[in-house]
Chains A and B, each alone.
Chain A
Amino acid sequence: MKTWRDRGLILVAALLHGLVYVLLLPAWMGEDEPWHVEYAHHLSTGHMPWGGVEMRGAEREEEDDRRLMPLSQLQVRQRIGGLQPSEIADTQKAILDSMKEEDFFRRVDFAPWSGGASNFDQVQDAFTATHQPPLYHVLAALVMKATGASTPLEELRSMRWIGFVCYLAMIAITLALARLVTKDLALVALAGFICAWIPMHARQAAVVNNDVLAKVVGGTLLLAGAYQLTRAAGKVSAASFLTFMVLVVLAFATKTTTLVCVFCAGIAYIAVPTRSDAGKTLAAALACGGLLAIGYGYWRATHSPSIPTNWEDVRERLALGLSSANMSELWRTSVGAFNWYSRDLPGGVSSIVMFVVSCLMLGALWRLGRPKQINRVMLAMCLCALLFQWAMIILRGVSAGRYLFPVLPALATLLAVGAMSLGPNFTRRRVVSGVVIGLIAFDAVFLWRGLLVEQYLVWGT
């Protein structure tokens, strides 16, 4: 496991592994897929994600726009310009018909009742994807056009390939980041393998959601920041700074969950010139601060629910985010949950995974104190990225494991370092073998005992 050939093999294995999930994840079983397909569909028909009609609230009942159409449709109208109400309603109905045909309502236990459902409010109230930044959906619309998808099911299937490509990109990013953390190629390969075999991440190879693009943009930002930290003082080139700026714009155009990666990379870009030139540091800090302000303003303008509106809101979100229920949800949806998170892994598996992950994280922390063959600065950056991302999820007040994925390269690297640090040198290979076999067994349980059973055998009546 010490050559490029082995890392190539990891990528080939990841490709096959991702295809397994593409084959086995049924249509509409990725979380929030109907809303994302709806958004991309409207963009694919030539509409733009701006110029919509502001909606009026409920101060006076007779002026409440909800008398015109359901809230989920008003939210679409608010964002996308030029849409006729019938277009919005017909699109939702076509998607719902496809969901009924593909047995969505038999698989998702909280979806109340399919009879008479004709708009998305009857699946989940007050929810939309159109408040999301549009980059993923623009990309998806282009893919739809290129593949000639015409029905909602075809649109969904064509969009899923974006997730697949993003999954492979994440593994490449992880290999590159781990290479900056250590010269130990065995550890690098192990980090790539962990990234590829974490089941909930592998499942994202088949999911339609802007989180799949957010993780790639976030991971690339982390990698760019890490490269900067390896450079000698004062060596930030204009090209690399321009790359960073482009990545930040992409991050803001993708999803709010990339914010921590922007922050970490920004610190790295500012830290490097600091060593030589105060003027450059100031300029870099101002540029980063300006970008953050523009991004924040943009997200506010698009009614993103991720952005707190006042201090009261922040306090409420913090209380929610720090609650044990929220932490438990974050863990549950990171490790394994099926059918729109309405069903869990077989009992006991989650506890075993928690024990193993704790051991590996302790190993990584121990290695941080004794950085043999490890770049301590890089490892510290990985740890900070993970902790900041966790803090951001707490501040958001709503948890889902996929919100952690923008820092997955950092997490996979930490876990790989942890695995390499458990036990003395002569047992290292055995420990690594154990971790690999353990993760493969976990993936097998997740896929064959969890996903396959819950998606195909346990259907509600």
Chain B
Amino acid sequence: MKTLLAWTYSAITALLILGISMIGLRSPRPMIDVRTIPLITHSGGLTPQSPPGEMFRCEQNGLQRIDILLVAIGPSLHPRATLRLRANSPSGVVLRETTISPSVYQTGPAWVSFEFEPVTDSKDKVFHFSLEPADEAATQLSPWVRFHGQTGENDAWGDRFLEPGATHRGNFVSDHAHLRALAFPVESMLPSLGTARLELFDGPGSKDPVRVATLPVLDEVHAGWTFFSFEQIPESRWKRYYFELQTPEHCRLIGTGGENGEGIPVYKTFHGLDVTESSLFGMTRGALRQPDRDLVFRAWGEDPPSAVFARLMERTGDDLWLAAILWCLATAICLRVFVFVDPDPRPEVVSRSAPTVDPEVSPAPPAD
């Protein structure tokens, strides 16, 4: 009877531990979560002329919060930033607007949450949000960008300004196939004041570029990475490419020192193809659409516990129930062995068959 009781206690305790652990599963999680580590490219300070944004399709009803990963690129005291949520596209009707004063420092990136009244029937609808500076201090805040592709060349941010209005040259061996973009850090790039032009050649003396990329007028960047994207080159793996980047008079690239101390550009290369079946439709700069990249953000909707469990069941199948049962059985056995133990009149150390000698003097393997 005592044995049965001990097993019952063990089983109930195992179930309790499992139940308490499962409570945590109920907490909501973002329906969209752009995850990328390490963060390698920030888009530069916010501007009212071409605010960064993103288009996405909502997978849940009750869209109520958008988090954006921001970093301060300069001293920024009590900045205020405004998020505008629109229907369908950058030109759609403004559905929600919220202004907050985010706590973001130069020490590292931080998630900033913009909460608003839930959009009740948001499921399967397309939305657009943009992030605009509400004051001067907010122009020192920069969101992060995930460009669609694997990185090849991956230089760090430079340590000096390069000559403005100059043509900067460099060459690299493309690590992967499908070369599709180069990104350069700039102090500021205002295409409306002059065009930057990237030409890519497949030989040192080649006259005809294999690709040419320029920046649209709205693609303004302040202290961030600017992307020159072009039609991907399928057979680019392990080929050497030479680039010439002509910068306008107002634009200073950020570079580093070469072998002889001269300033040379730093850059990143991106390779790959776009993926189908995504709920993200790409980043925007004002009215300009940039489908080859996304802002790093999270979107939250209504995520009731029943939906969380439904999602869990869909993704784990029947394995979850079986695993839970097996875990309870295993745990109950251990609890029975160690915790809900029968009172035992025998001494705890078996000494009938083991030699009663000091194990330090003659350490013989004892028998059970």
Name A's B-contacting residues (CB within 8 A). Answer: 1-4, 6, 9-10, 12-14, 16-17, 19-20, 23-24, 61, 64, 66-67, 70, 109-110, 112-118, 121-122, 125, 179-180, 183-186, 189-190, 193, 197, 227, 229-230, 232, 342, 346, 371, 373-378, 429, 432-433, 436-437, 440-441, 443-445, 447-449, 452-453, 456-461
List chain B residues, Cβ under 8 A from A437: 335, 339
When the two chains form their complex, are residues A375 and B338 in contact, meaning their CB atoms are under 8 A apart? no
When the two chains form their complex, are residues B359 and A116 in contact, meaning their CB atoms are under 8 A apart? no
User: Measured between alpha carbons, how far is A116 from B276 in the docked complex, in Å?
Assistant: 11
When the two chains form their complex, are residues B176 and A121 in contact, meaning their CB atoms are under 8 A apart? yes
User: Measured between alpha carbons, how far is A32 from B111 in the docked complex, in Å?
Assistant: 30
Least distance between B256 CB and chain A CB atoms (Å): 21
What are the interface flags for B356-368 relative to A under an 8 Å C-beta threshold, 1 for contact and 0 otherwise? 0001101111101
Q: What is the number of residues of chain B that contact chain A, defined by CB distance less than 8 Å?
A: 74
When the two chains form their complex, are residues A189 and B337 in contact, meaning their CB atoms are under 8 A apart? yes
When the two chains form their complex, are residues A113 and B272 in contact, meaning their CB atoms are under 8 A apart? yes
When the two chains form their complex, are residues A436 and B365 in contact, meaning their CB atoms are under 8 A apart? no
Least distance between B92 CB and chain A CB atoms (Å): 21
When the two chains form their complex, are residues A432 and B338 in contact, meaning their CB atoms are under 8 A apart? yes
User: Measured between alpha carbons, how far is A326 from B256 in the docked complex, in Å?
Assistant: 29
Given A113-B275, A121-B175, A456-B316, 17 more pairs with CB closer than 8 A: A1-B337, A1-B341, A2-B346, A9-B337, A110-B37, A112-B149, A113-B149, A117-B272, A185-B348, A185-B368, A376-B359, A432-B338, A437-B335, A444-B21, A448-B18, A449-B21, A457-B312
User: Measured between alpha carbons, how far is A241 from B280 in the docked complex, in Å?
Assistant: 64
Our pick among A378, A441, A460 for the contact of B33 (Cβ within 8 Å) is: A460
When the two chains form their complex, are residues A116 and B334 in contact, meaning their CB atoms are under 8 A apart? no
When the two chains form their complex, are residues B238 and A14 in contact, meaning their CB atoms are under 8 A apart? no
From 268 to 321 in chain B, residues with beta carbon under 8 angstroms from any chain A beta carbon are 271-275, 278-280, 308, 311-312, 315-316, 319-320
When the two chains form their complex, are residues B350 and A230 in contact, meaning their CB atoms are under 8 A apart? no
List chain A residues, Cβ under 8 A from B24: 346, 448-449, 453
When the two chains form their complex, are residues A460 and B338 in contact, meaning their CB atoms are under 8 A apart? no
List chain A residues, Cβ under 8 A from B4: none
Least distance between A342 CB and chain B CB atoms (Å): 6
Instruction: Known contacts A113-B272, A374-B359, A449-B21; decide if A433 and B338 are in contact (CB<8 Å).
Output: yes
Between B18, B21, B32, B274, the greatest number of chain A beta carbons within 10 A of the residue's beta carbon is seen for B21
Our pick among B21, B237, B333 for the contact of A70 (Cβ within 8 Å) is: B237
Our pick among A24, A117, A448, A449 for the contact of B150 (Cβ within 8 Å) is: A117
Whether B1 sits at the interface, judged by CB under 8 Å, is no
Between B32, B176, B232, the greatest number of chain A beta carbons within 10 A of the residue's beta carbon is seen for B176
**CB-CB nearest in chain A for B364:** A230
List chain A residues, Cβ under 8 A from B348: 2, 184-186
When the two chains form their complex, are residues B323 and A23 in contact, meaning their CB atoms are under 8 A apart? yes
Whether B36 sits at the interface, judged by CB under 8 Å, is yes
Whether B156 sits at the interface, judged by CB under 8 Å, is no
When the two chains form their complex, are residues B365 and A189 in contact, meaning their CB atoms are under 8 A apart? no
When the two chains form their complex, are residues A184 and B365 in contact, meaning their CB atoms are under 8 A apart? no
When the two chains form their complex, are residues A180 and B365 in contact, meaning their CB atoms are under 8 A apart? yes
When the two chains form their complex, are residues A444 and B177 in contact, meaning their CB atoms are under 8 A apart? no
Our pick among B177, B240, B350 for the contact of A185 (Cβ within 8 Å) is: B350
List chain B residues, Cβ under 8 A from A457: 25, 29, 308, 311-312, 315
From 198 to 244 in chain B, residues with beta carbon under 8 angstroms from any chain A beta carbon are 232, 237-238, 240
Between B177, B311, B312, B338, the greatest number of chain A beta carbons within 10 A of the residue's beta carbon is seen for B338
**CB-CB nearest in chain B for A374:** B359
Whether B94 sits at the interface, judged by CB under 8 Å, is no
When the two chains form their complex, are residues B337 and A10 in contact, meaning their CB atoms are under 8 A apart? yes
When the two chains form their complex, are residues B333 and A189 in contact, meaning their CB atoms are under 8 A apart? no
From 167 to 182 in chain B, residues with beta carbon under 8 angstroms from any chain A beta carbon are 173, 175-178
List chain A residues, Cβ under 8 A from B36: 109, 112, 460
The 9 closest A-B pairs by CB, nearest first: A460-B35, A116-B273, A116-B272, A16-B330, A448-B21, A13-B333, A115-B273, A444-B21, A436-B338
Our pick among B329, B335, B350, B365 for the contact of A440 (Cβ within 8 Å) is: B335
